[in-house]
Amino acid sequence: MVGSNAVNEDRSLVKDGTEQSPVKLGVENLSIHYETGPALQNVSFDIRKNEIFGIIGPANAGKTSFLKAINRMDMFNPGMKIDGKITFDGTDISKVRNVYGLRSRIGVVFPLPVGLPLSVYDNVALAPRLAGLKNKAELNVIVERCLTRAALWDEVKDRLNSLGSMLSGGQQQRLTIARALSQDPELLMLDEFSIAVDPVTTMRIEDVLKELKNEITIILVTNLVQQARRLADRTAFFLEGQCVDVAVTEDLFTGEVSDQRTRDYVEGRFG
């Protein structure tokens, strides 16, 4: 499945003959190198609109580097070199002149909450304000909507003027998700979002992601293979800078894939 011609198709048929969603993100022969060596080598697959696409694999497999390439973080790292092609809605992102405009369409949630030194309200209102929105009533609607979508509104609605950094770790992570959603992204990328979050909060965020799938495309990078199994429609397995397998998630976990390394990883024999 890796390197499939599906990366160049708008629509294709799945096994039961039904039509898949259009390609949102196409990845073709992608390689990423740093001064210390390669992070990814010759990776190809597609990610489709309104799916949760999981990426699993051990540390140093290239998962985070892949997200950085999508968000054009090479601009801030002169030692990072990207070869190959990533298309977003059919546009080669390496040819996009307005990179900040591209990033406004892509929300990112990092492993640890990145709380801005602002109030809860201002954390969420920041992106709309930077986009030029000044109307207080409209900002109020956006803040409430995003906090609600992040399963946080009921807990903070009476302390919107308090510092976001004073919230608990789980609340701060949900605030980060609300802030990412406030820019109304088409693609949401989550990199180990639950690493510093308690299990109960993790399950709440997972429920949020299941609902968000109806509106946006989600890339979920996780070391928790069962989390990928619960959430992802399809999952890629990265190992030592290679994409070993891409498959419907349940096929990946039930042995309907060809590579023994994938089976060994999802069954916990290494990782």
pTM: 0.87
With a CB cutoff of 8 Å and minimum separation 6, the contacts of 70 are 25, 86, 88, 93, 106, 187, 189, 219
Domain boundary among 184, 202, 220: 184
Q: Is residue 53 part of a domain?
A: yes
Domains held by the chain: number: 2
Domain boundary among 184, 210, 240: 184
Q: What gap in Å lies between CA 45 and CA 161, rounded to an integer?
A: 44
Per-residue pLDDT at 173: 87
pLDDT in tens, 181-226: 998 999 999 999 888 778 888 888 899 899 889 899 999 999 899 9
Q: What gap in Å lies between CA 86 and CA 40, rounded to an integer?
A: 13
Specify whether 172 is located in the same domain as 202. no
Specify whether 85 is located in the same domain as 18. yes
pLDDT in tens, 90-146: 999 999 988 888 888 999 888 877 667 899 999 999 999 988 999 999 999 999 999
pLDDT at 5 over 60: no
CA–CA distances in Å: residue 268 to residues 199, 223, 224: 20, 11, 11
Domain CATH code at residue 55: 3.40.50.300
Is residue 119 within 8 A of residue 162, CB to CB? The reply is: yes
Per-residue pLDDT at 97: 87
Per-residue pLDDT at 10: 42
Helix (H, G, I), strand (E, B) or coil at 159: coil
Specify whether 100 is located in the same domain as 23. yes
Q: What gap in Å lies between CA 265 and CA 255, rounded to an integer?
A: 11
Is residue 54 within 8 A of residue 15, CB to CB? The reply is: no
Q: What gap in Å lies between CA 161 and CA 139, rounded to an integer?
A: 14
Amino acid residing at 96:
V
pLDDT at 2 over 80: no
Return the half-sphere exposure (C-beta side, CA atoms, 13 A cut-off) of residue 245: 24
With a CB cutoff of 8 Å and minimum separation 6, the contacts of 197 are 169, 170, 173, 205
Q: Is residue 133 part of a domain?
A: yes
Specify whether 56 is located in the same domain as 3. yes
Range of the domain at 166: 115-184
Q: Is residue 158 part of a domain?
A: yes
pLDDT at 6 over 80: no
Specify whether 164 is located in the same domain as 239. no
Specify whether 82 is located in the same domain as 44. yes
With a CB cutoff of 8 Å and minimum separation 6, the contacts of 216 are 50, 185, 186, 187, 188
pLDDT at 247 over 90: yes
Specify whether 26 is located in the same domain as 99. yes
Domain boundary among 159, 184, 209: 184
Per-residue pLDDT at 19: 57
Specify whether 72 is located in the same domain as 23. yes
Average pLDDT over residues 31-59: 95
pLDDT in tens, 63-86: 999 999 999 988 888 899 999 999
Percentage, residues of the chain above pLDDT 90? 62
pLDDT at 1 over 80: no
Q: Is residue 90 part of a domain?
A: yes
Per-residue pLDDT at 269: 86
Place 4 in a pLDDT band, splitting at 50, 70 and 90.
Answer: very low
Per-residue pLDDT at 8: 36
Average pLDDT over the chain reads: 88
Q: Is residue 110 part of a domain?
A: no
